[in-house]
């Protein structure tokens, strides 16, 4: 019988079900458990944490997950863990992991730290070498960006921007991380690591790294890398491929949903399944929905490892909760890494009020106008605002089904403001509570207090030549990381 490598995923984002990884390995034997904690928004959150504390900036949920997994690590010698929970600070995450393992009597466990994705300390150096870090969506460069350039459609006509309104975003950067690929993960495993902690790597690379290490694939074996990338993409979002976020959700119980397992063969093809006796479902439909999730051009799903063609993929039900995925093909990867860059972009706040009565729609619209107009009266016209009527189509603007029903007797008014001036947003946050006595009758929800004013980190997608980025791999026993 040909070798199979069973790679599972126990988290699809930071904040996912903390019990899922433990419940998965208790009910299924797997070779690798991956934990996918990072997204662009998450990186901004972690960057904010690192700004406050240089020792922070990683996914602390992983520490709770690891504590719950120490019994399985002792009982299942084959089990390895690959996680991108290092976020903005992989070494700090590794040290915290090492302390947990040492306290659990697992101080000899080898931990691999993958870093080198953090470009922030090198921005001046990289720009001096010709990197313009142009926005891949708009083509704009970091220096000399008109205010609001990212919030308008790229095709929208714009008037010439006065020089006084030009911002140099280079000085506002708070994070810049390249999406590394699978090779440093495979290198860490080859060096004996049982647990590999990375910073920003491509989601599918968490699966491609172990598969390449186990099967000994070449790094130019494009079809096998592509097939493994398909499997990695299918399991990277956790329970989304096992029934979560699915249109057929009423057909199965999601209370104890099983998280996914990819059984990979040496040719890269896989069977997607889940632990026996768990909720949810693995069907051709759940797999197909996840296959097309967030992929852009299906002929060119670009990863740091390979350019995948998803149009050649075939999906077939094999048995109950077992779906075979085959036929993924690939081409050489690009010579650039995607970079997730974030910069300070002012301040924002969002407040809500419950509005009720037969005239709740008109009442809510009036309250929204009053809040914004009072900011203008105070001398703070706001740069960007959004008024939503939740319960009357505000969550899905223009949706056809709202025309079928009568006006509801209640709805939630949500008003959001963004401005480069903190004082302007603070003025906005003070306008909700006064409506209790100086606005229309029929309002509630003000007891929650003023909306929180928080900093905004805007996203800037860009590229960097791979030749200018060197991934770093450090593998040591836990007890040495603690020293």
Per residue in 365-384, pLDDT tens?
999 999 999 999 999 999 99
Q: Is the pLDDT of residue 409 over 80?
A: yes
Q: Structural domain of residue 443, as residue ranges? A: 344-459
How many CA atoms, within 13 angstroms, populate the side-chain half-sphere of residue 73? 22
Do 169 and 143 contact (CB within 8 A), yes or no?
yes
Do 90 and 466 contact (CB within 8 A), yes or no?
no
**Residue 77 and residue 193 share a domain:** yes
Using CA atoms, how far residue 216 sits from 180, 208, 209, 220, 266, in Å, is 20, 11, 10, 12, 9
**Residue 348 and residue 322 share a domain:** no
**Residue 359 and residue 295 share a domain:** no
DSSP annotation of 28 reads S
Give the count of domains, the chain. 2
Using CA atoms, how far residue 324 sits from 144, 298, 307, 387, 441, in Å, is 50, 19, 22, 46, 59
Of the residues 302, 334, 366, the one at which a domain ends: 334
In a domain, 464, yes or no: no
Per residue in 442-470, pLDDT tens?
999 877 789 999 999 999 999 999 999 99
**Residue 249 and residue 104 share a domain:** yes
Q: What was the pLDDT predicted at 393?
A: 67
| Four-CA torsion 201, 261, 69, 475, nearest 10 degrees | -40
In sign, the C-alpha dihedral spanning 239, 16, 24, 234 is: positive
**Residue 423 and residue 325 share a domain:** no
Do 355 and 363 contact (CB within 8 A), yes or no?
yes
Of the residues 283, 314, 334, the one at which a domain ends: 334
**Residue 352 and residue 203 share a domain:** no
100's enclosing H/E stretch is: helix 90-103
**Residue 394 and residue 352 share a domain:** yes
In a domain, 483, yes or no: no
- Ramachandran assignment for 278, one of left (phi > 0), alpha (psi -120 to 50 degrees), beta (any other): beta
Give 447's contacts (C-beta < 8 A, 6+ positions apart).
none
328-358 in b/e burial notation, b at 16+ Cβ within 10 A?
Answer: bbbeebbebbbbbbbbbbbbbbbbbbbbbbe
Of the residues 270, 300, 334, the one at which a domain ends: 334
**Residue 412 and residue 383 share a domain:** yes
**Residue 449 and residue 307 share a domain:** no
Length of the chain in terms of residues written = 483
In a domain, 444, yes or no: yes
In a domain, 83, yes or no: yes
In a domain, 454, yes or no: yes
State the chain's mean pLDDT as an integer.
91
Phi, psi (rounded to 5 degrees) for 351: -125, 155
Closest CA to 89 of 198, 195, 182: 198
Per residue in 124-172, pLDDT tens?
899 989 898 999 998 888 764 444 444 333 333 333 333 334 456 777 8
Per residue in 299-352, pLDDT tens?
999 999 999 999 999 999 999 999 999 999 999 999 999 999 999 999 999 999
In a domain, 478, yes or no: no
In a domain, 397, yes or no: yes
Measure the CA–CA gap between 247 and 226, rounded to whole angstroms.
28
In a domain, 170, yes or no: no
Do 332 and 411 contact (CB within 8 A), yes or no?
no
**Residue 361 and residue 295 share a domain:** no
**Residue 350 and residue 285 share a domain:** no
**Residue 400 and residue 258 share a domain:** no
Work out the pLDDT band at 181, boundaries 50, 70, 90: very high
Strands 472-477 and 110-115, bridge-based pairing? antiparallel
Measure the CA–CA gap between 57 and 115, rounded to whole angstroms.
14
Measure the CA–CA gap between 200 and 209, rounded to whole angstroms.
14
HEC string of 422-480 equals HHHHHHHHCCCCCHHHHCCCCEECHHHCCCCCEEEEEEEEEEEEHHHCCCEEEEEEHHH
Do 85 and 202 contact (CB within 8 A), yes or no?
no
What CATH number is given to the structural domain containing 440? Answer: 3.30.70
Measure the CA–CA gap between 213 and 306, rounded to whole angstroms.
16
Give me the mean pLDDT over the 263-273 stretch: 96
């Amino acid at each position: 019988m040909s070798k199979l490598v069973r790679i599972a995923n126990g988290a699809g984002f930071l904040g996912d079900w903390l019990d899922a990884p433990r419940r998965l390995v208790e009910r299924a034997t797997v070779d690798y458990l991956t934990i996918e904690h990072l997204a662009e928004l998450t990186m901004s959150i972690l960057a904010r944490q690192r700004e406050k504390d240089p020792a922070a900036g990683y996914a602390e949920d992983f520490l709770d997950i690891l504590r719950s997994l120490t019994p399985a690590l002792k009982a299942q010698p084959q089990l390895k863990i690959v996680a991108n929970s290092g976020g903005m600070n992989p070494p700090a995450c590794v040290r915290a992991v090492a302390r947990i393992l040492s306290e659990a009597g697992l101080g000899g466990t080898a931990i691999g730290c993958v870093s080198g994705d953090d470009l922030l300390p090198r921005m001046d150096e990289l720009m001096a070498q010709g990197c313009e870090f142009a926005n891949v969506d708009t083509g704009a460069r970091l220096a000399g960006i008109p205010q609001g350039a990212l919030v308008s459609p790229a095709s929208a006509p714009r008037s010439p921007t006065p020089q006084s309104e030009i911002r140099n975003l280079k000085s506002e950067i708070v994070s810049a991380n390249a999406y590394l690929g699978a090779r440093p993960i495979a290198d860490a495993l080859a060096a004996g690591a049982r647990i590999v902690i990375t910073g920003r790597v491509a989601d599918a690379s968490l699966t491609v790294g172990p598969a390449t290490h186990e099967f000994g694939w070449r790094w130019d074996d494009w079809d096998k890398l592509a097939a493994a990338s398909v499997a990695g993409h299918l399991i990277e979002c956790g329970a989304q491929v096992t029934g979560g976020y699915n249109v057929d959700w009423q057909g199965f119980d999601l209370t104890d949903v099983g998280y996914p397992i990819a059984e990979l063969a040496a040719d890269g093809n896989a069977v997607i399944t889940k632990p026996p006796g768990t909720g949810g479902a693995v069907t051709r439909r759940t797999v197909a929905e996840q296959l097309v999730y967030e992929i852009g051009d299906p002929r060119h799903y670009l990863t740091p490892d390979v350019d995948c063609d998803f149009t050649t993929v075939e999906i077939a039900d094999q048995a109950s909760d077992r779906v075979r995925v085959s036929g993924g093909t690939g081409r050489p990867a690009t010579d650039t890494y995607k970079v997730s860059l974030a910069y300070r972009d002012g301040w924002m706040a969002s407040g809500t009020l419950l509005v009720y009565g037969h005239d709740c729609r008109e009442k809510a619209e009036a309250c929204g106008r009053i809040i914004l107009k009072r900011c203008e009266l105070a001398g703070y016209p706001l740069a960007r605002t959004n008024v939503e009527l939740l319960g009357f189509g505000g969550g899905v603007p223009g949706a056809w089904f709202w025309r079928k029903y009568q006006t509801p007797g209640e709805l939630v008014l949500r008003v959001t403001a963004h401005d480069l001036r903190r004082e302007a947003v603070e003025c906005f946050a003070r306008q909700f509570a006064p409506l209790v006595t100086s606005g229309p009758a029929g309002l509630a929800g003000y007891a929650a207090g003023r909306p929180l004013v928080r900093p905004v980190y805007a996203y800037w997608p860009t590229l960097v030549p791979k030749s200018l980025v060197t991934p770093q791999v450090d593998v040591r026993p836990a007890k040495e990381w603690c020293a």
